[in-house]
Amino acid sequence: MAQKVKSLFSPFGGFRGLAAIIAVQCILLLIMLVDWHVPMVLVVGVVVTIGALRWPLGAVALLIAARLIGTASMSWLHIGGLHLGLFEPILLIALGSLLYHAVVRRKKIIQDYPWLTPMLFFLGYQVIGLLWCYKLGQGLADIVATGVVLANAMLIVTFVRDFEDYKKVFTIWVGASVTIGILSLVTSLGDSGGGGVWEVAAGGGRETGLGQQPNWFAMNLMFSVHTCFGMAVVQTNKRHRMLFMLAGLFIFITQLRSGSRGGAYAIMIGGTLVALAHPVFRRWMKRFLMIILATFAFYMLFDIGSSTSKAMTRIATNITNTWGQDVRETNWMVCWQMFINTWGVGIGPGGYADLLEDYNWKLYTSIHRYPHGIFWGLLSHYGLVGLSLAVWVLVTIFRMARELILLTKGTAIEVFAWTMPATMVGYIAWSFVEFEINDKPFWEFLALYTALYLGVKRMLANGETLPAMPHDIKLPWQRSVPPPPTLPAPNPATP
């Protein structure tokens, strides 16, 4: 009889296990009587945590999705300049999974990658900058943001181990981007979370999606466009290929609704870079540029009909009208003044918006209280040291991309070896007139590309063969011209 009772409780871990389950349910029931949201959050948190421990790659995918979808306007807790919302709990769960696999599973989590060293130096300089920063709280917020970038990168490069992992995670990235596009079509959150309501943008028909300023919203979606079409290229299933193509088109159209020139220009720049991988396009582009330069030089030398001077006057007038009263140019002048006033050291992390009161009252009382460009932000906050470290990061990314293109030539991975750097080049080009150093999702995108790079090197070191392009797909420069038909050789026996 005792044996039957014991077997009855065995699925629950014995009598003690069953008692623990009943006790937890009673506690949740009591909490539900106070606030039903709390037990629901606890149950979901436990389920997600267990799933993250068992499937760490899923935790990384969920982390990226939360990073993309979560915005300051969706946060439920604000501590100084820090906004706690959808992303932060997922990050803690993912870090818990990382710690579990490091301690219990003995997994190596300290991965060395090309741009890690300059980023650690940058973090160190931020910490030193606390000695002269304007407000300690804002400086700590900037340091925490850099720490989050490094934590996300560590999670991604640790658990994304090969090309299959890469495709799974980027599929979730595409799904999150599509979700953002759908939500932006059916909701209107208006507030950017930074204290300003983008009524002018909304009134002009610009999509401010999920409470983001239009340029941020567009660039948030822009990162997935080129590689989404790349995912379509490498699919063996034609239905999957069509789904990725439609998703890429939908994301592209959605980001265009913001009216952001930055998003559109970045996609054009990136698309041109990808096209340059095609030798025929590259050859004709060189010829086209030569013709343009020759024509321009001819008109500059002879100034036929005073057309050159008229064109230059028109260009100068347009630039003056466009930028003369623009908040970007005003912020850039302030950044330069901050750089000069600190003897090239920078004002340190944080404090830019508050210091504007001493430089430009009109900007200080507006909603445009940020440097409007990563370059200008580095110049004002971190001076020559910050700019030097940024150049170091860019050089390491360039070398990594060049090596990956050479290693993957003729394989399916070659598509992504081109599309992802092309997207980053487009973003970096526009980052001179918009964005801040810790803005999402550039660093997560770079970390995923780095994971692909490390995975390829790992596969080649183990003697594995890189995946080939699907048999029915060939990149334009991989298509060989069929040989011309030849006449059959004459038969010697025939007179």
Question: Is 490 part of a structural domain of the chain?
Answer: no
C-alpha span between 48 and 133 (Å, rounded): 39
Question: Is 43 part of a structural domain of the chain?
Answer: no
Question: Is 1 part of a structural domain of the chain?
Answer: no
C-alpha span between 416 and 87 (Å, rounded): 27
Instruction: Return the bridge partners of 113, or none.
Output: none
Question: Is 118 part of a structural domain of the chain?
Answer: yes
Distances (CA, A) of 26 to 45, 252, 338, 378, 400: 18, 50, 60, 54, 55
Question: Is 416 part of a structural domain of the chain?
Answer: yes
Structural domain that includes position 161:
55-467
Question: Is 333 part of a structural domain of the chain?
Answer: yes
Q: Could you report the per-residue pLDDT of 54-103, keeping only the tens digit for each?
A: 788 888 888 888 888 876 666 666 665 566 677 888 888 888 888 877 77
Question: Is 30 part of a structural domain of the chain?
Answer: no
Distances (CA, A) of 493 to 88, 113, 399, 489, 490: 85, 69, 63, 12, 9
Instruction: Indicate whether this model's pTM tops 0.75.
Output: yes
Distances (CA, A) of 404 to 223, 225, 233, 408, 456: 19, 20, 18, 6, 8
Number of domains observed in the structure of the chain: 1
Angle between helices 14-34 and 2-9 (to 10 degrees): 50
Question: Is 16 part of a structural domain of the chain?
Answer: no
Q: What is the pLDDT along the chain (495 residues), one digit of tens a residue?
A: 555 555 555 554 555 655 666 666 666 566 666 665 556 666 666 666 777 677 888 888 888 888 888 766 666 666 655 666 778 888 888 888 888 777 777 777 777 889 999 999 999 999 999 998 888 888 888 898 899 999 999 999 999 988 999 999 999 999 988 888 887 777 654 444 444 434 444 444 444 556 566 667 777 788 888 888 888 888 888 888 899 989 988 888 888 777 666 677 777 777 777 666 666 556 666 776 677 677 767 766 665 555 556 566 655 655 555 455 567 788 888 899 999 999 989 999 988 888 888 888 887 787 778 888 899 999 999 999 999 999 999 999 999 999 999 999 888 888 899 888 888 888 888 888 877 888 778 999 999 999 999 999 998 988 888 888 776 555 554 544 444 444 455 555 554
Phi and psi at 409, nearest 5°, equal -60, 130
C-alpha span between 63 and 87 (Å, rounded): 7
C-alpha span between 337 and 347 (Å, rounded): 11
Q: Could you report the per-residue pLDDT of 452-461, keeping only the tens digit for each?
A: 999 999 989 8
Sign of CA dihedral 8, 12, 16, 22: negative
